[in-house]
Amino acid sequence: MAGHETHYILPRPTFDKPVKLLIVVSPYYKDIADNMVAGAVAEIEAVGGTYEVVEVPGALEIPTAIGISDRSSNFDGYVALGCVIRGETTHYDTVCNDSSRAIQLLGLQGLCIGNGILTVENRKQAEVRADPDDQNKGGGAAAAALHLVALARKWGAQTKGVGFKPSSDSYRLA
């Protein structure tokens, strides 16, 4: 069972200047969402960061809210939190695939997003994954966003040795 495997967790990143994240959560399953937010908040606060929380109706609206925020606010990164539990129809597949794909596309555009949208078979799986004292997937999503912010700041601050350097020799066209 995946819950009993051990895996490596990166050390928390450190920041020279404060980091501000937006937690976008779908509270469709309120108790699960609340646990995930608690885990995310603890991880953000552990690095001295600040955050805001916004709620949206469902997992499909999470990437849209992140896109809107990116165009009109000043967050360093985003934490996407929600839960999709398999039901009797293929709607589960659509919600899982489309929300994940949209978040990935936003990330490829340069946004620092930790994807914590749970996609599970049943409520018990969701409860274990959301619990801050168990699998803490909310905290893991916040950690992912924080690591991406740290990388963006590291690479964004590099100004030496990047790109082409002009030659000191003059060239003349004949």
Instruction: Supply the residues annotated as catalytic.
Output: 91
Helix (H) or strand (E) holding 20: strand 20-25
How far is 174 from 158, CA to CA, in rounded Å?
A: 37
Q: Which of 128, 27, 143, 161 minimizes the C-alpha distance to 81?
A: 27
Q: Contact at 8 Å (CB) between 138 and 81?
A: yes
Is residue 85 classed as helix, strand or coil in its secondary structure?
Answer: strand
| 85 residue type, one letter | I
Q: In whole angstroms, what is the distance from residue 127 CA to residue 31 CA? A: 8
CB atoms within 10 A of CB 48: 11
Distance CA 64, CA 117 (A): 14
